[in-house]
Amino acid sequence: MMFNGETGVIQSVGDSRVTILFSKKDACDTCGLKVVCAPGKESERILSLPHAGEYHIGQSVRIEELSNLELHLSLIQFGYPMLLFITGLLIGYFFPLQAFLPRELSGFLVACVGLGFSFFSARNMVSRLVERIPDKYLRIVTDD
């Protein structure tokens, strides 16, 4: 995880959320999981997390990963479309459209429809997952 084990400084504290400021690392340029990072200054990243403790501005905190976010996102982005494509291929191959189209062509067309559907549904799943990332996947650990 891109925040796992990183130390940041608390920038602001609200009623139920705390905003943590991280300095940018070299790995950020090639990271594919920028869905969590808020666009901040070029050398900084901002993360907003729910908190259940007492924090003050300027306090140094560490982020701990609770679950494997990369695996979940990879399965949604790659596994789900592949599953729908293969399912569409099989349905189209055995679906009774052979009177109009050859089996291979009908299988490919239904697989493309499944792939198109997977684009919109995977996008919806990722957006719902991104909303839950701070609550489900990350935790604040104080250095005290």
Range with the poorest average pLDDT among 4-13, 17-26, 41-50, 57-66: 41-50
Range with the poorest average pLDDT among 44-48, 121-125, 134-138: 134-138
Asked if 11 and 19 count as a contact pair (C-beta separation under 8 A), the reply is yes
**Rounded Cα distance, 62 and 80, in Å:** 33
Residue type, 73: L
87 exposure class (CB count in 10 Å sphere: 0-12, 13-18, 19+): middle
Task: Give the highest mean pLDDT range of 47-51, 93-97, 124-128.
Answer: 124-128
Q: What is the pTM of this model?
A: 0.59
Q: What is the pLDDT of residue 41?
A: 47
- Give me the torsion for CA of 36, 39, 45, 49, rounded to 10°: -50
The residue extents of the domains of the chain are: 7-66+137-142, 69-133
Average pLDDT over residues 81-87: 95
Instruction: Give the mean pLDDT of the chain.
Output: 78
Predicted confidence (pLDDT) at residue 15 exceeds the cutoff of 90: no
Average pLDDT over residues 25-33: 56
Predicted confidence (pLDDT) at residue 141 exceeds the cutoff of 80: no
Alpha helices (H) along 1-102: 69-74, 80-94
Instruction: Please give the structure tokens belonging to residue 112.
Output: 């493309």
* Phi, psi dihedral angles at 15 (to 5 degrees): -65, -45
Q: What percent of the chain has pLDDT over 70?
A: 76
